């Protein structure tokens, strides 16, 4: 009976983690370049009791890489990344990768992210333009021109399919540098100037996940309470008389 109670509790812990993931997705449905978070679970087999018991694992988050929709903005410093590419951002904690192409230019000509962090070029150096040289044009391969002259290239990088992405506070991700390489195929990858990529979150899917997860959690909680009550009754009935 105790094992059944612990199995139910492990299920509640797993469902709670999944619901937090869904809630985070719903909160960021309108965040540019945001990647939806999912949770995978594996059962854990315990052989310590008389009978082998299977518990729910604690779960592991992962980020989906399905592209989000592109929305035109008309801003020449906005770029939507298409294909498997990622922009590189220099942060105080190291290089992070992002699909949020809302860029800005400061008075010195530094190209930064929406959060004011340097956007890196293909060589990993901060991208800088001349703020007095006129309109900026961005080609599909990320090359940046002013007045018809090439002044730099927005860095586009590919992250290995099996890489474990760790999300940062600003929606960017970190990854082992060995799993990152510059994009070399601009047929399927590149950027589109004057557009921004939205999140790849489907509100309908997430609301369905939320409702299903809540029902599962409530059912598991009710089962846990029932088992607990039965266990308490058994102790009371079988305990020594006073």
Q: What is the pLDDT of residue 105?
A: 95
Q: Average pLDDT by consecutive 10-residue portion of the chain (242 residues)?
A: 56 74 91 88 50 56 90 96 94 94 95 96 94 93 94 94 86 88 87 96 89 75 64 62 52
Closest CA to 165 of 154, 155, 180, 183: 180
Rounded Cα distance between 201 and 25, Å, is 7
**Alpha-carbon separation of residue 18 from 8, 12, 122, 155 (angstroms):** 15, 10, 37, 34
Q: Between 203-238 and 2-27, two packed helices, what is the crossing angle to 10 degrees? A: 160
Rounded Cα distance between 11 and 224, Å, is 10
**Which pTM does this prediction carry?**
0.78
Closest CA to 19 of 65, 68, 67, 61: 61
- Beta-ladder partners of 137: 145
Q: What is the pLDDT of residue 154?
A: 96
Q: What is the pLDDT of residue 42?
A: 59
Domain ranges for the chain: 2-64+201-238, 70-197
């Amino acid at each position: 009976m105790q094992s059944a109670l612990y199995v139910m509790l492990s299920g509640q812990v797993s469902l709670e983690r999944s619901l937090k993931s869904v809630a985070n997705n719903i909160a960021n449905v309108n965040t540019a370049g945001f990647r939806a978070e999912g949770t995978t679970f594996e059962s854990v087999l315990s052989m310590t009791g008389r009978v082998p018991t299977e518990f729910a694992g604690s779960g592991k988050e992962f980020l989906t890489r399905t592209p989000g929709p592109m929305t035109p903005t008309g801003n020449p410093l906005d770029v939507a990344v298409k294909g498997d590419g990622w922009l590189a951002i220099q942060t105080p904690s190291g290089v992070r990768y992002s699909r949020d192409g809302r860029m800005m230019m400061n008075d010195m000509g530094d190209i930064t992210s929406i959060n004011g962090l340097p956007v890196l070029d293909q060589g990993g150096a901060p991208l800088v333009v001349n703020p007095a040289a006129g309109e900026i044009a961005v080609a599909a391969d990320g090359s940046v021109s002013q007045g018809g002259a090439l002044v730099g290239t927005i860095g586009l990088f590919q992250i290995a399919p099996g890489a474990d992405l760790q999300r940062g506070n600003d929606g960017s991700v970190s990854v082992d540098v060995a799993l990152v390489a510059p994009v070399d195929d601009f047929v399927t990858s590149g950027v589109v100037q004057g557009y921004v990529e939205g999140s790849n979150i489907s509100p309908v899917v997430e609301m369905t996940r939320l409702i299903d997860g809540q029902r599962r959690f409530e059912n598991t909680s009710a089962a846990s309470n029932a088992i607990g009550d039965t266990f308490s009754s058994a102790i009371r009935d079988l305990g020594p008389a006073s």
